[in-house]
């Protein structure tokens, strides 16, 4: 297993989205065009630990089992046999619905 890793998750802007239809698993097929927003990213720190924990510097971020970082950590734990703690150390990118761009709102 690893000891610790820090990664950046770049912010993206969805320029358009088209829902194509429902798949057998209940999710939808989509076509989308996203662009990366230079200079905006969240910093995520992951390290080995005695027990699982998740934290975020931004209290508005949901920390339940359906959080994408928590889900990724659970997959890492299952694959490695270890226990991990994760932290979104810098929540720089706005969450969905938080951006107020003149001309688009």
Query: What integer pLDDT is reported at residue 104 of this predicted model?
Result: 46
Could you give the CA distance from residue 12 to residue 66 in angstroms, rounded to a whole number?
A: 20
Query: What integer pLDDT is reported at residue 65 of this predicted model?
Result: 87
Query: What integer pLDDT is reported at residue 101 of this predicted model?
Result: 47
- Residue 74: CB atoms within 10 A of its CB come to 15
Could you give the CA distance from residue 14 to residue 102 in angstroms, rounded to a whole number?
A: 16
* Predicted TM-score of the model (pTM): 0.64
CB 51 within 8 A of CB 40: no
- Residue 80: CB atoms within 10 A of its CB come to 12
Could you give the CA distance from residue 4 to residue 14 in angstroms, rounded to a whole number?
A: 31
Residue-range domains of the chain with CATH: 4-90 (3.30.230.10)
Query: What integer pLDDT is reported at residue 68 of this predicted model?
Result: 86
CA 52 to chain centre: 17
Query: What integer pLDDT is reported at residue 95 of this predicted model?
Result: 58
Counts of helices then strands in the chain (DSSP H, E): 1, 4
pLDDT of the chain, 105 residues: tens digit per residue: 568 889 888 888 899 999 999 999 999 999 999 999 888 888 889 898 888 988 888 777 877 888 888 898 899 889 888 888 998 887 665 555 554 444 544
């Amino acid at each position: 297993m690893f000891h610790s890793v820090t990664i950046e998750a770049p912010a993206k802007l969805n320029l358009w989205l088209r829902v194509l239809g429902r798949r057998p698993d209940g999710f939808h097929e989509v076509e989308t065009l996203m662009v990366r927003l230079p200079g905006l990213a969240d910093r995520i720190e992951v390290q080995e630990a005695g027990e699982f924990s998740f934290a975020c510097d931004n209290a508005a971020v949901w920390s339940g089992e359906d959080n994408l970082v928590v889900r990724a950590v659970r997959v890492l734990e299952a694959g490695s046999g270890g226990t991990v703690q994760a932290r979104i150390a810098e929540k720089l990118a706005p969450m969905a619905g938080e951006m107020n761009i003149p001309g688009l709102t």
